[in-house]
């Protein structure tokens, strides 16, 4: 079994590739290794994958190019896990073109590769941000997701719609996963846990937007990877036998799921746990809500549980402790 993992040098991509390699599969990784954050961390993730198995092959290149199709054709790719994207809600306010290129055109190239060289399953990353102005909690897959409040969320919602059209027209089995605030070892330096840890250890203040009143469905990376691999192994059937999506083509092998912890916590509790594990108190600066942000997220994972038996297993107390242990080992602060 050969799986193409796009975004293989990224946080979720490298963790997913590691899990597939550890169970004896062949993995082809693709990443453009851009400098959105420290590229040394990306190379360290790739070194980790190469150490796991010789069945890992890596290509440097842009997902929004013909390279995706060339890899799928030349290497007999059986499945695709598409995790390459330009991430970050706030960054999208200043660099919109980057998001359209990476997230929309990049996904089109992946879909076209799967169309030209049929694969058993295409699993791709969406985001909880697609729920936008929705205030009904927990978020469920039948809730409206047509009013995103950031361009990043809009590009990911477009991916879901594009996947539906290709599943309907070309019988490509697709599953989208709406990630809810993923954290853990090997994480992204632009995300809250990483930034807070770095600044607390340096004696610098941390900023809490919305005056610290955010609630988030923080999801540990191992639980995310467990969900991805379970989904990957079970391609969708046509709609009547799969999870129903109102208005979807009944013949399309198409699904979209939430994947989260189903246990949201207040951001202040998140900081308290981090302080406990670091053995230091944080200096906090409170700021108002940022444009494009949402106040609360809470994932219903009932549909994913029914479909593939997914249930998150890592309490936030355990996840933060593991992240701090990894951070201290990696950075030696």
Q: Contact at 8 Å (CB) between 215 and 296?
A: yes
H-run or E-run covering 316: helix 316-331
CA angle 304/309/315 to nearest 5° reads: 85
Other beta carbons within 10 angstroms of residue 3's beta carbon come to 24
Reading the block at residue 218, the tokens are: 């923080």
Burial of 258 (0-12, 13-18, 19+ CB in 10 A): buried
**In the annotation, is 270 catalytic?**
no
Nearest in space to 155 (alpha carbons), one of 81, 98, 111: 98
| CB environment 86-97: b (16+ within 10 A), e (fewer) | bbbbebbeeeee
86: left (phi over 0), alpha (psi -120 to 50) or beta: beta
Q: Of 36, 124, 131, 152, which is the active-site residue?
A: 152
CA gap 154, 123 in Å, rounded? 19
CA gap 57, 73 in Å, rounded? 15
Residues assigned a catalytic role: 152
């Amino acid at each position: 079994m050969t799986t193409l993992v796009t975004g293989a040098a990224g946080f979720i991509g490298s963790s997913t590739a590691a899990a597939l390699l550890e169970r004896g599969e062949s993995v082809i990784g693709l990443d453009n290794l851009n400098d959105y954050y420290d590229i040394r961390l990306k190379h360290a993730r790739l070194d980790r994958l190469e150490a796991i198995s010789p069945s890992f092959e890596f290509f440097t290149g842009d997902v929004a190019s013909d390279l995706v199709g060339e890899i799928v054709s030349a290497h007999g790719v059986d499945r695709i896990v598409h995790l390459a994207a330009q991430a970050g809600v706030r960054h999208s306010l200043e660099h919109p073109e980057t998001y359209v290129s990476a997230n929309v055109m990049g996904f089109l190239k992946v879909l076209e590769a799967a169309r030209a060289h049929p694969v058993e399953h295409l699993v791709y990353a969406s985001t909880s941000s697609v729920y936008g102005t929705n205030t009904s909690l927990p978020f469920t897959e039948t809730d409206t997701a047509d009013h995103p409040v950031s361009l990043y969320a809009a590009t990911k919602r477009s991916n879901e719609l594009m996947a539906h059209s290709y599943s309907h027209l070309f019988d490509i089995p697709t599953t989208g996963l709406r990630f809810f605030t993923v954290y853990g070892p090997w994480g992204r330096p632009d995300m809250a846990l990483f930034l807070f840890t770095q600044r607390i250890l340096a004696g610098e203040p941390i900023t809490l937007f919305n005056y610290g009143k955010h609630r988030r469905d923080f999801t540990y990376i191992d639980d995310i990877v467990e969900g991805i691999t379970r989904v990957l192994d079970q391609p969708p059937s046509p709609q009547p036998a799969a999870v129903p999506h109102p208005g979807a083509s009944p013949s399309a092998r198409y699904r979209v799921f939430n994947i989260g912890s189903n246990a949201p916590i207040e951001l202040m509790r998140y900081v308290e746990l981090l302080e406990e594990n670091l053995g230091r108190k944080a200096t906090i600066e409170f700021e108002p809500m940022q444009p494009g942000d949402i106040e609360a997220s809470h994932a219903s994972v009932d549909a994913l549980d029914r479909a593939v038996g997914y249930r998150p297993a890592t309490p936030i107390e355990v996840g933060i402790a593991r992240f701090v242990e990894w951070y201290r080992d990696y950075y030696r602060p």
